[in-house]
Amino acid sequence: MKNVEGKIVLITGAAMGMGKLYAERAVAEGALAVVLWDINRTALAETVDQLKQAAGATEVHSYLVDVSDRHAIEANAALVLDQVGVPDVLINNAGVVRGNKYFWETDSVADTEFTMKINTLAPMFITRAFLPAMIEGGKEGRLVNVASSAGFVGNPRMAAYAASKWGAIGFSDSVRLELEQAGHKQLKVTTVCPYYVKTGMFDGAKSGLLVPLLEPDHVVNEVWKAMRKGTPFVVLPKTVLVNEALKGLLPTGLRDLVVGKIVGIHKTMDDFKGRQD
């Protein structure tokens, strides 16, 4: 895929942060339509106004969607298919972070269940709502699932978040393989696994040795390039992959020492605050 000119692009969590940056990129490339899903009514309206000023011929559609609610996902997906059409590019970007507590100190509903619904189940339900139509259309398409490097490594004070992203990675890469096995090779899946990104969601989180906090523009640029190519994984920074190598080389205790003490990952959430709104 050279670009998204003339294509329909749907983005969840599109009102701010990286979701908004993806929407701006789609408009800049001349997408036929950009579909924004978000739960923040005020931010969504502001983003729509900004995009329409630069949209040219691109249609901008917005839907107020609580992606923690499967019924809301299914109802709004049906509206999109009827009112806009089948997405050519689907970016599951919406996500939440809960941290800075040990798991036994967290709330099972407000922390664990909420995190799993948005970070793990929502991408699954949204993909299920659109993928059959994308397959039936037979056109070149892309599915981008934003996970996290936390999906590769356990980390204190973010157990539910890490679990949600481990699940997202397993789901996303399995669907990639399923599409290939079923012969739908025109549809490519990209799983995105960045370290902490400076969007406000990770306010207070720390960098570690060789794993700096990431700039949103840089992440979006890398993801966009990978999406167009159909690259299976985007891992940022590449040094995150060192942990994957260590899993097969070092005993667990020694790997914990390297990752936790030397690289400093196990202390990165000690001062986490997150986005206060």
Please list the active-site residues: 161
What is the Cα–Cα distance from 62 to 84, expressed in whole angstroms? 11
Task: With CA atoms as reference, report the closest residue to 29 among 60, 55, 3.
Answer: 3
What is the Cα–Cα distance from 100 to 273, expressed in whole angstroms? 8
| Backbone CA torsion sign across 228, 234, 237, 241 | negative
Kindly list the distances between the CA atom of residue 51 and the CA atoms of 54, 90, 104, 182, in Å, as whole numbers in the listed order.
5, 18, 43, 37
What is the Cα–Cα distance from 259 to 266, expressed in whole angstroms? 7
Residues listed for the chain: 277
Task: With CA atoms as reference, report the closest residue to 111 among 102, 98, 120.
Answer: 98
What is the Cα–Cα distance from 54 to 157, expressed in whole angstroms? 41
Cβ(179)–Cβ(234) below 8 Å: no
Task: With CA atoms as reference, report the closest residue to 115 among 93, 97, 91.
Answer: 97
Rounded to 10°, the helix 159-181/122-137 angle is 20
SS3 18: helix
